[in-house]
Structure 1
Amino acid sequence: MPLLTREDELHGYAPDAFAFWRNLAVYFCVFSVLGHWMEIIYCSFMDACFGIVEDDSLVWGDPMYPFLVYGVGVVVCAVALVPLRERLVAKRRTLVGAGAQFFLIAVVVCLVMELGMGFILNRPDALGEYPLWDNSELPLNVLGQAWLVNDVVLAAVAMLYTWVVYPLCQKALAKVPLRAMNALAVLVVAGFIILCAVKFS
């Protein structure tokens, strides 16, 4: 029996259900940390190949430091990209066509998110130096903040999460008894709040 059935792949968006938001809170917490680990791997590869990651980059710091942008990313996937996936699969004649269109839209979404985060958190100082990252000298940069290469990679990750990881997680958590799942969610969220209080202080 496959890990995911056709029904599993097409469902998971239930904003009228408490379990949807409870699970989403858990995903936000967990993937804020896992996202940092993923970025360590990605930046290690990019630095080894192109030497473009600064030595003092936040990514090289404490691996338990939450990168909240990835928590926000999984929320965007569940709230916006999962229903988009369902509409595209229903509309397109082939799954390949739906996947290709989804990927292109995901690139744009990732680009907009990277730009938005950059304009909010990574504004250059009076000397024109960026505090968190500097993409201004890279080819295919967008307004000095976003880098299209990053956005293509992030779109691939978003597609993997939306089409495979998220439905698998939903399927797995649905098997946990209700009281146990509610207790687990409280523990995860409480632990994450404590982690943020320690790391951001």
Structure 2
Amino acid sequence: MVVALIVICEVGFWVLLAAGLATRYLLKMPRTGAALLLCEPLLEVVLLVATAIDLKNGAEPSWEHGLAALYIGYTVGHGHRTVKWLDGHAAHRLAGGPRPVPPPRYGMARARHEGRIWLGTLVGAAVATVLLWLAILYVDDPSRTDTLSGWMGGAWRAAGIHGLIALSYFVWPRKGPEEPEKQREPIRVSRG
């Protein structure tokens, strides 16, 4: 049941996103489009409540509950950035807005960009950990919650790996293409 609900929430996220952007830019109803976009967090609330009810009804804590916590954490950590990115592209393509500024490709600017994305992953791991911890307290049976504890470790391993990748941009910043050297004009000495 929980996996099906995760799939439904993911599909619902993209449907609400498409409906919100289409309403905002194609139908020229920005307030209604914004209202549809603001409904997206409700999907995570539905998933959270359904997971809690599933556990309350005596379901054995399993990988499905851990996956639900990670999904909610990821959405909290990266959902806003994803919606903002897509909104910028929709405004450009559908409403004649300015072309979105692409992320920097080189140097420390790229490293800072990767660091900001990693902060979203940290937020996601923290939210997932809190949800998993609350589920463990809710079940209140250490013999049944080992699976949930394992998902906490998985969340932080993912954040650590992403952190190492982001750090690599600081340690080895990618160099941009060099400008071609300007041809030197020969020095002319005037005789006079």
Which bracket does the TM-score occupy, shorter chain normalised?
0.3 to 0.5
Q: Which has the higher contact order (CA 8 A, sep 6+)?
A: 1
Q: TM-score, normalized by length of structure 2? A: 0.33
Q: TM-score, normalized by length of structure 1? A: 0.32
